[in-house]
Structure 1
Amino acid sequence: MKGILRYLKDYKKESILAPLFKMLEATFELLIPIVMANVIDVGIAGRDISYVVKMCLVMILLGIIGLVCSITAQYFSAKAATGFGTALRNDLFRHITSLSYTEIDSIGTSTLLTRMTSDTNQVQTGVNMVLRLFLRSPFIVFGAMIMSFTIDVKSAMTFVVTIPALSIVVFGVMALSIPLFKKVQNRLDRVTLLTREGLEGARVIRAFNRQDKEFEEFDKSTDDLMKFQLLAGRISAFMNPVTYVIINLSTAAIIWIAAGQTDAGIITQGKVVALVNYMSQILVELIKLANLIVTITKAVACAKRINAVMDQQPSITDGSGKAAGSPANAVKVSFRDANLRYAGAGADSLSDITFDVAPGETVGIIGGTGSGKSSLVNMIPRFYDASQGSVCIDGVDVKDYTLDELRHKVGVVPQKAVLFAGTIADNIRWGKQDATEAEIDEALEIAQAKEF
């Protein structure tokens, strides 16, 4: 999580003000049980209606101030979280586009999509919730315990036992949930992959009449995702009933102890009500904290997945740029004992490839499916690097060119055409941003695409 928290650096002010205003709201909330105790002990016991009205107005004022603080905190936390998510998403996309084919193949397109969308949104939600509640809830829990000691030490000892017990439950569930939520996201990757394959390969699936087989595989994948989601959900759901049981037992203990103290004349009835209110506040905040822990657990699991992508360094980087002085009479393309082995493969896909292509020559590479024709071509613009040997253009090793310089020298027509968002003219202008209508028409004529 630390690695991606740097995206909050532009929102330091919001990241400080959001929890600060939440703490102010919590402070006003902690004062209300004391005011209520005075209403009972002074106003109602003394039948002083004016005092009761005055204290009720004080409570309304505290509520209004707390509401203003809460709305302000929500604004700052939302601004910080949204800005954080935007910066993270942009940087992650920029980093993914810098990766070579090797890294993209090893990570997988489907998991990159999930990490760009679902994982990033989950981390953004986690940041928002942390800024709003991470300090507020513990502040109220421990603040309520301290306030209870100012009322009655004997009754307040119940809080000393309750809070550690609840902490064990909350953090125990968190420790069990984090690995499970990571597995959930991995299963979601698989579902995304199958969905993407099903949509992109719909024609092939229908042509080979494999709809039932694809449905079966998709159902199996979603069932697997559901199984882990249910397991993680059951463990997370275990938190609420256990916290309720502990809090209710603690409330009963407070009433039992405080009743004896009241009979002995040590504390008043209003203070008993204040103690119960403080215990209720702890219950509400621990429920919020429990839900927050679940959100943080998901966010941490997703953050680790995002960090794994960010830590992946591209294996193909700019060369020295010393290619400017290439000899004028050099062959255009030259392979010298070039081998290619894909990451994780047990053997070379290409081995001992040696040939020259002179200026003006046209060379056709013929071979069966999977024989390495595309792999060989992909080595020229450095989509993949030769694992041994060398590939040269104009007499210079392609690894000595900067990537921009190399790819300005090489034109590639992919096997599968991809249209990007925008008009057809926008897509044609990818090769030349300032192309005129006449140049676009000429490109369409050359590609034999103008008729359709």
Structure 2
Amino acid sequence: MLKLFRFLKPYRAWIAVVVVLMFLQSISQLYLPTLMADIVNVGVMEGNTGYILRIGGLMLLIAAVGTLCNVAAAYYSSRTAAGFGQIVRGNVFGHVERFSLQEFDKFGTASLITRTTNDITQVQQVLFMLLRMFLNAPLMIVGGIVMAVSKDAKLSLVLVAVIPLLAGVITLVASKGVPLFRAMQKKLDRLNLVLRENLIGIRVVRAFNRTERERERFGSANTDLTDTAIRVTRIMSVVFPVMLLLLNLSLVAIMWFGGIRIDNNHMQVGDLIAFTQYASQILFSLTMVSMMFIMIPRASASAVRINEVLDASPSIVDAPETREPESSGRGLVEFDDVTFGYPGAEQPAVRNISFTAQPGQVTAIIGGTGSGKSTLVNLLMRFYDVGGGSIRIDGKDIRGLSQERLRAMIGYVPQKAVLFSGTIADNIRFGSDSASREHVEHAAEVAQAAEFITELPEGTNSAVSQGGTNFSGGQKQRLSIARALARKPAVYVFDDSFSALDFKTDAKLRAALQRETAEATLLIVAQRVSTIMEADRIVVLDEGRVAGIGTHRELLASCDVYREIVTSQLSEEESA
């Protein structure tokens, strides 16, 4: 957890202020019992009313100063802890944004969400407690012991016997709680995963009448987390009863032995009252320390998980000496003997893939499920790095380009259309912040989205709900295509982006795209033969290898795999 405290640098001045305030507050608390003892020993025992009023007024003043210091310290502590949480969340989010898909696969989306929210909150809460207690509690314990000894050294032997017992209980409970707190965070990950899957897949769950099964799955994860939480609570709940028991027994012992010492004229009544207050302060501070020991194990487990994310190095990084290509690049894409396997997979997803996609031409990729079509797109976008061979754009290996520059050259339409909450215009401008209103409307028109946008009351300013759930699959695909068109890149990549379109819209869209992207390189991944029949070049994949390259007619004559795909989808007349 200490490793995370490097993010406190902007708040060093506030922390110093908190330290000073807590020091003053602790001194005021430690001074009050001595003043009380003087009031009893001098004012009450001797009947000196003026002395009582004078010292009583001083006590009120010191108590007021201590209270103001406490309130100010609480304010600056909360501001510091909240600012720390903001910085850590920002750093975690920014670091995760640099992850390749390989790191996302490793951590899992649900776990990353938990680490960015719940785990950081745990550390933030403990930091607040530390700022409030890390100086106050030790000062009160040490100062209380010194003041108690100054009142009566022999009576302090009661505290000498009690304090090691309290420390032993705290240490034992903390050692038992740390492993369980770590387990709790993992079980919370699991609960978030089940909940996230259920909410995202609610349509599928209901369509297949699997609501009861999902309830059982959530219930199992929920019960698992609850059982662990109960075990932790049982262990931690031992601390407070034991603390209270030892506190009360200590006070009884102090009063008992103190009374004896007063009878023997070894101690004054006021000193016994002050000693009792110091003992209470010491034991109360130890109780506060025990609270810290309850919170620290969970926060430590959370801190480890946060550091795991921050310490994870992205597997895909920009080359040290990146030389950016000229902005006038034509967009020539070359796959040269590309081989790649997903982490943990026994066999490569694609092997020895070689082909060229020329500017001003449409290059299509087709193949059966699992043949590696989307893998090639992921490699071109550099979501993963090739295992062998190279991918070049305009003769430059993409690993020699910065990721930002590479992706600025590509207009990407994913297989699953993804929209963000906001407006239609916001989603289209996601491809280019500088796109004017006319540019946005033109992109929508080319993507065949204008026909349904114009029917909306607010046009391109119409709201898009989270995930675009207020639009159909075909509408979302067209908006995704418009987003790519708004970028005006050198290379367009359509990853099975026409699957939700009817044949009429598909044909109109392809005709409009042909005019709009006449000078760009078009890479189309498709399942439907009808979508790519007119392509200038078709790459046929089979089990991760190139089975054939050519035009539709050439492949019908030379490629058995392509012929099987065509005959399974089209009649003999349609395929001719």
Preserved contact between residue 110 and residue 192 of structure 1 (Cα < 8 Å): yes
Q: Higher mean Cα deviation, 414-423 or 69-78?
A: 414-423
Preserved contact between residue 145 and residue 160 of structure 1 (Cα < 8 Å): no
**1:162 aligned partner, one-letter code:** V
SS of 2:430's partner is coil
Separation in structure 2 between the aligned mates of residue 191 and residue 223 of structure 1, nearest angstrom = 10
Aligned to 1:321: 322
The structural deviation recorded for 1:175 is: 2.5
Aligned to 1:35: 35
Distance 1:61 1:306, change over 3 A: same
The structural deviation recorded for 1:327 is: 13
Aligned to 1:164: 164
| Between structures 1 and 2, the one with greater strand share | 2
Aligned to 2:208: 208
Aligned to 2:379: 379
Q: Higher mean Cα deviation, 269-278 or 47-56?
A: 47-56
Preserved contact between residue 100 and residue 314 of structure 2 (Cα < 8 Å): yes
Preserved contact between residue 7 and residue 87 of structure 2 (Cα < 8 Å): yes
Matches within 5 A, 1:413-424: 413-424=413-424
SS of 1:412's partner is strand
Aligned to 1:270: 270
Aligned to 1:178: 178
Structure having greater relative contact order (Cα 8 Å, sep ≥ 6): 1
Distance 1:238 1:345, change over 3 A: farther
Aligned to 2:523: none
**1:321 aligned partner, one-letter code:** T
The structural deviation recorded for 1:311 is: 0.2
Separation in structure 1 between the aligned mates of residue 332 and residue 423 of structure 2, nearest angstrom = 35
**1:119 aligned partner, one-letter code:** D
The structural deviation recorded for 1:352 is: 2.5
Separation in structure 1 between the aligned mates of residue 142 and residue 101 of structure 2, nearest angstrom = 53
Aligned to 1:109: 109
Separation in structure 2 between the aligned mates of residue 249 and residue 348 of structure 1, nearest angstrom = 71
Q: Higher mean Cα deviation, 27-36 or 313-322?
A: 313-322
Aligned to 2:218: 218
**2:229 aligned partner, one-letter code:** Q
SS of 1:324's partner is coil
**1:280 aligned partner, one-letter code:** S
Which ranges of structure 1 fall in alignment gaps of 5 or more residues?
A: none
The structural deviation recorded for 1:43 is: 2.0
Deviations 1:43-65 (A, max 9, x none): 22223333323332222212101
**TM score, norm. by length of structure 2:** 0.75
The structural deviation recorded for 1:261 is: 1.3
Which ranges of structure 2 fall in alignment gaps of 5 or more residues?
A: 453-576
Separation in structure 2 between the aligned mates of residue 383 and residue 357 of structure 1, nearest angstrom = 19
The structural deviation recorded for 1:369 is: 3.2
Aligned to 2:455: none
SS of 1:351's partner is strand
Separation in structure 2 between the aligned mates of residue 35 and residue 322 of structure 1, nearest angstrom = 75
Separation in structure 1 between the aligned mates of residue 288 and residue 326 of structure 2, nearest angstrom = 67
Aligned to 1:19: 19
The structural deviation recorded for 1:395 is: 2.5
Separation in structure 2 between the aligned mates of residue 368 and residue 220 of structure 1, nearest angstrom = 38
Cα RMSD of the aligned pairs, angstroms, is 2.0
Separation in structure 2 between the aligned mates of residue 313 and residue 134 of structure 1, nearest angstrom = 34
Alignment of 1:81 with 2:81, yes or no, is yes
Q: Higher mean Cα deviation, 438-447 or 344-353?
A: 344-353
Matches within 5 A, 1:98-247: 98-247=98-247
The structural deviation recorded for 1:326 is: 12
Aligned to 2:441: 441
Preserved contact between residue 99 and residue 314 of structure 2 (Cα < 8 Å): yes
**1:89 aligned partner, one-letter code:** R
Distance 1:326 1:271, change over 3 A: closer
The structural deviation recorded for 1:315 is: 0.7
> Runs in 1 of length 4+ with deviation above 6 angstroms?
325-329
Number of positions where the alignment pairs a residue of Structure 1 with one of Structure 2 = 451
SS of 1:389's partner is strand
**2:357 aligned partner, one-letter code:** V
Preserved contact between residue 327 and residue 394 of structure 1 (Cα < 8 Å): no
Q: Which structure's CA Rg is the greater one? A: 2
Preserved contact between residue 148 and residue 279 of structure 2 (Cα < 8 Å): no
Preserved contact between residue 110 and residue 193 of structure 2 (Cα < 8 Å): yes
Aligned to 1:293: 293
The structural deviation recorded for 1:253 is: 2.1
The structural deviation recorded for 1:150 is: 0.4
Aligned to 2:429: 429
Separation in structure 2 between the aligned mates of residue 260 and residue 248 of structure 1, nearest angstrom = 18
Separation in structure 2 between the aligned mates of residue 201 and residue 89 of structure 1, nearest angstrom = 28
The structural deviation recorded for 1:118 is: 1.1
Separation in structure 2 between the aligned mates of residue 191 and residue 337 of structure 1, nearest angstrom = 43
The structural deviation recorded for 1:359 is: 2.9
Aligned to 2:260: 260
Deviations 1:179-201 (A, max 9, x none): 22121111111111111111111
Aligned to 2:366: 366
Separation in structure 2 between the aligned mates of residue 243 and residue 420 of structure 1, nearest angstrom = 53
The structural deviation recorded for 1:9 is: 0.7
Q: Higher mean Cα deviation, 384-393 or 214-223?
A: 384-393
Preserved contact between residue 322 and residue 401 of structure 1 (Cα < 8 Å): yes
**2:128 aligned partner, one-letter code:** N
Preserved contact between residue 327 and residue 395 of structure 1 (Cα < 8 Å): no
